[in-house]
A and B are shown apart, each in its own frame.
Chain A
Amino acid sequence: MAEQTNATAPEALSDAANLEMLKRERRANNVWHKLTRNKMAVVGLIIVAFMVFLAVFAPIISPYDPNATDMSNMFAAPGQAGHLFGTDSYGRDLLSRIIYGARISIFIAIGGTIVGAIIGVLLGLVAGFFGGAIDSIIMRVMDGMMAFPFILLALILMTILGQGTQNVIIAIGVANVPNFARVVRGQVHVVKNEEYCNAERVIGASPARILFKHIFANAMSPVIVYFTLNIASAIISEAALSFLGLGVQPPTASWGAILSEGKSTLQTAPHIATISGVFILLTVLGFNLFGDGIRDVFDPKQKR
């Protein structure tokens, strides 16, 4: 056989040394290692982790019941009377409401994005893989949906579906479908023309096998990036809907709802709107930084 490893390879070029290099390379190319080399991504990840921590452990962390009113202690300034973030117009503890709000806001943002991603990815896969008329029909519908401003579309859906957490998730999800469909379709177009898809056809693989076992996995990296970045915008969407009174029902706390309540008392009690606004800002920033970091990890043409 032509290839033989020379039995007398020196130590420096031995199989063991080569294996060590392979291991080093795998470590260096490991997604987690690459991500943690990017400082801004780590900052983003910490922010995101902190917010998720708040949301998950809300009942344990929050010092008060978020919905317990205290009429004797309305509009308390931050730090007053044992309320770190002060209280709102009903005397409810703002810190507790923010913590519980994280639960609702992040839940809705992630839930909405998942709904959008699932539908969008499926449509995008089908459109990109089969092309032709199917592609045209799906993508023209998507274009039609995209022609509406995002918030208008969500507003229309909310009006049709009515209020409620579940419906906010559906509205945000549906409004995000075209974006996911576009990203996936574009990526499928790239991947399906890769030679390995031809190679699969030659070995007799069925279209379904090629689509789900090969194209799907290889088209996913931009979707993961887009998914993370999309959570950030979904948080804003939820806030906007709640701000407009179409989001979650009071007295449920969400960041958008708190911001909306704070709006009317911006002059007298600015801390309500400010603090909720800062949390929205931080979380959006966190997801964005994290998403950018993931993009750099997945993008082969990344600058170092």
Chain B
Amino acid sequence: MTEQNTGLLDDAGTKSGERILEVRDLKTYFHTAAGIAKAVDGVSFSLDRGKTLAIVGESGSGKSVTASSVIRLLAKTGKIEDGSIEFDGIDMVHVPERELLKLRGSDISMIFQDPMSGLDPVFKVGTQMVELIRAHSDLGKKEAYDRAVEMLRLVGIPDPEARMDAYPYELSGGMCQRVIIAMAVSCHPKFIIADEPTTALDVTVQSQVLSLLRGLQDELGTAILLITHNLGIVWEMADDVMVMYAGRTCEYTSMRELYSNPLHPYTWGLLDSMPRLSDTAKTDLKTIPGVPPDLRLTGTCCNFCNRCPYATEECHRRVPELKEVEPGHFVACLRQDGEHRLVRGEVNHHE
């Protein structure tokens, strides 16, 4: 990869020691009987302490695989083929499994979409929390218990002492997700990976969980890697955003810049296809025609070119590099670099 591909990596972060995660040119492939699926195909990004990076994309874009690659929590068929992942000075690609286990849960925590999957159904909530805290600290039983209660209170669970004796099935989905968050922050991690943390929750619970996460982040200075498909959540939570499509980065910039000045045709499509509450006209939604490509076939052209209304012959032959088109704004589009510029909506969508 070229130097340009290092994204926001070269700003002040590295020097000031604020940088917590740095991923360069990550490639994670899945080896299946029917071929190699290039789930993540050359992705670079970085994250500073106390900041939130959102990775946005549709299913199959590689956003979840990127997150799992960071902590090497991949299915058996998946393999990190290339690239480097540096977390707080640790080489995550090569660190031994044992050290990795120690890191997960103490310095790095994970929150997944399904709250139930993160809790063991046969143990009480309290038992699981105490066990986790004790595994990653040298607290005694009593202190660990107190810490767990304190954490449950922190995430807004009423009557935490009573909840310590509850089994996961006795709690609602929202409650479970709070317990998971309490567990995730109980060891004061430096870094939380939240993979669609509120997708399974109702909107009212979602907004509570999100404001909770933000509050904890302010208080503890945790860095968050937020995986989501919901742009509304991005506007609410993120500092930086990376838009992924078919295993590659389309656009990588700050959240405000992405909102006010999106540059990649896919981002435009994504923004346009969302129904908006404030729209009054009963017209058709703009859509991106077609479906995402088979990940076994990508890598020889722009992955978006068969759905892109702006695609040219060149897009069919070349893979676009991620280039800094404007200061701090990286775009991977052959028609959207320093010299060439597209005008949004210049070419009408099909029909």
Binding site for B on A (CB under 8 A): 1-6, 8-13, 17-18, 21, 24-25, 27-29, 33, 37, 303-304
Residue of A nearest to B300 (CB): A12
Contacts A6-B289, A37-B33; A18 near B294 (Cβ below 8 A): yes
Q: What is the CB-to-nearest-CB distance from A13 to chain B, in angstroms, rounded to a whole number? A: 5
Most-contacted residue by chain A among B76, B291, B350 (CB, 10 A): B350
* Complex interface: chain A residues within 8 A of B306 (CB): 5-6, 8-10, 13
Residues of A within 8 A of B316 (CB): 8, 10-11
Known: A6-B307, A10-B317. Is A25-B297 also a contact (CB below 8 A)? no
Partner of A6, one of B290, B297, B303: B290
Which residues in A have their C-beta under 8 angstroms from that of B315?
10
Q: Which of A9, A13, A27, A28 has the most CB of B within 10 A?
A: A13
How far is A12 from B304 in the complex, measured between Cα atoms in Å?
Answer: 12
Once the chains bind, are A13 and B301 in contact (CB under 8 Å)?
yes
Per-position contact with A for B302-335: 1 when CB-CB < 8 Å, else 0? 0101110001000111000000000000000000
B299 nearest CB neighbor, chain A only:
A12
Contact B34–A4 (Cβ < 8 Å): no
CA distance A59 to B161 in the complex (A): 79
Chain A residues with Cβ below 8 Å from B351 are: 1-2, 4
With A6-B306, A304-B77 as known contacts, state yes or no: A12 contacts B290, CB within 8 Å. Answer: no
A78 to B297, CA, bound (A): 61
> Which residues on B sit within 8 Å (CB–CB) of A24?
34-35
Query: Which residue of A is nearest B317, CB measured?
Result: A10
Tell me the complex Cα distance, A18–B35, Å: 12
State which of A8, A12, A18, A21 has its C-beta within 8 Å of the C-beta of B34: A21
Among A5, A13, A29, A304, the residue within 8 A (CB) of B297 is A13
Cβ contact within 8 Å between B317 and A25:
no
Instruction: State which of B289, B303, B311 has its C-beta within 8 Å of the C-beta of A2.
Output: B289
Q: Once the chains are docked, how many angstroms separate the CA of A24 from the CA of B300?
A: 20
Residue of B nearest to A8 (CB): B311
CA distance A172 to B147 in the complex (A): 62
B-side residues, CB < 8 A to A, are: 32-35, 76-77, 287, 289-291, 293-294, 296-301, 303, 305-307, 311, 315-317, 350-351
The answer on a CB contact under 8 Å between B293 and A13 is yes
Which A-chain residue is minimally distant from B306 (CB atoms)?
A9
Q: Which residue of the partner chain B has the closest CB to A27?
A: B34
Partner of B301, one of A6, A12, A25, A303: A12
A304 touches B76 (CB 8 A): yes
* Residues in B whose Cβ lies below 8 Å from that of A5: 289-290, 306
Known pairs A4-B350, A25-B34; A18 contacts B289 (CB<8 A): no
Cβ–Cβ < 8 Å partners of B290 in chain A: 3-6
Please indicate the chain A residues that have their CB under 8 angstroms from the CB of B32 in the complex. 28
Bound form: Cα–Cα A237–B284 in Å: 69
Q: How far is the CA of A25 from the CA of B32 in the complex (A)?
A: 9
Chain B residues lying within 8 Å of A29, measured Cβ to Cβ, are: 33-34
Q: Is the CB of A12 within 8 A of B289?
A: no
Distance in angstroms between the alpha carbons of A5 and B298 in the assembled complex: 17
For the A-B complex with A4-B351, A29-B34 known, give 7 more contacts whose Cβ atoms are closer than 8 Å. Answer: A2-B287, A6-B290, A8-B306, A10-B300, A12-B297, A17-B297, A21-B296
CA distance A17 to B306 in the complex (A): 13
Inter-chain CA distance A1–B290, complex, in Å, is 11
Q: Give the distance in Å from the alpha carbon of A18 to the alpha carbon of B296 in the complex.
A: 9
Residues of A contacting B289 in the complex (Cβ-Cβ under 8 angstroms): 2-6
Which of B76, B291, B306: most chain A Cβ within 10 A? B306
Q: CA A2 – CA B349 in complex, angstroms?
A: 10
Contact B307 A21, beta carbon cutoff 8 Å: no
Q: B305 touching A10 by the CB < 8 A rule?
A: yes
Q: How far is the CB of B173 from chain A (nearest CB, A)?
A: 21
Which residues from B are CB-within-8-Å of A2?
287, 289, 351
Smallest CB gap from A37: residue in B: B33
Q: Which residue of chain A has the shortest Cβ distance to B307 in the bound complex?
A: A6
The chain A residue sitting closest to B302, CB to CB, is A10
Cα-based distance from A8 to B310 in the complex (angstroms): 11
- Whether the pair A21, B287 counts as a contact (CB closer than 8 A) is no
In the bound complex, residues from chain A placing their C-beta under 8 Å from that of B311 are 6, 8
Residues of B within 8 A of A6 (CB): 289-290, 306-307, 311, 350
Closest chain A CB from B313 CB (angstroms): 8
CB-nearest residue of chain A relative to B293?
A13
Q: What is the bound-complex CA distance between A13 and B307, given in angstroms?
A: 10
Complex: how many Å from CA A3 to CA B307?
Answer: 10
| B contact residues around A8 at 8 Å (CB) | 306, 311, 316
Residues from chain A with a CB closer than 8 A to the CB of B298 are 12-13
Q: For the complex, what is the distance from the CA of A3 to the CA of B288, rounded to whole Å?
A: 8
Question: Quick one: closest A residue to B31, CB to CB?
Answer: A304
Shortest distance from the beta carbon of B185 to any chain A beta carbon, whole Å: 32
Taken together as a complex, chains A and B put the C-alpha atoms of A27 and B315 apart, in Å, by 32
When distances are taken between beta carbons in the complex, the residues of chain B under 8 Å from A21 are 34-35, 294, 296-297
A-B contact pairs, 19 of them (CB 8 A): A4-B290, A5-B289, A5-B290, A5-B306, A6-B307, A6-B311, A6-B350, A8-B311, A10-B300, A10-B301, A10-B316, A11-B316, A13-B297, A13-B298, A21-B35, A28-B33, A28-B34, A37-B33, A304-B76
Q: Roughly how many angstroms separate A3 CA and B287 CA in the complex, as a whole number?
A: 9
Residue of A nearest to B37 (CB): A21
Cα distance, A8 to B307, chains bound together (Å): 9
The minimal Cβ–Cβ distance linking B230 to chain A, given in whole angstroms, is: 21
**Smallest CB gap from B304: residue in A:** A13
Neighbouring B residues of A11 by C-beta, 8 Å? 316
In the complex, the chain B residue whose C-beta lies closest to that of A11 is B316
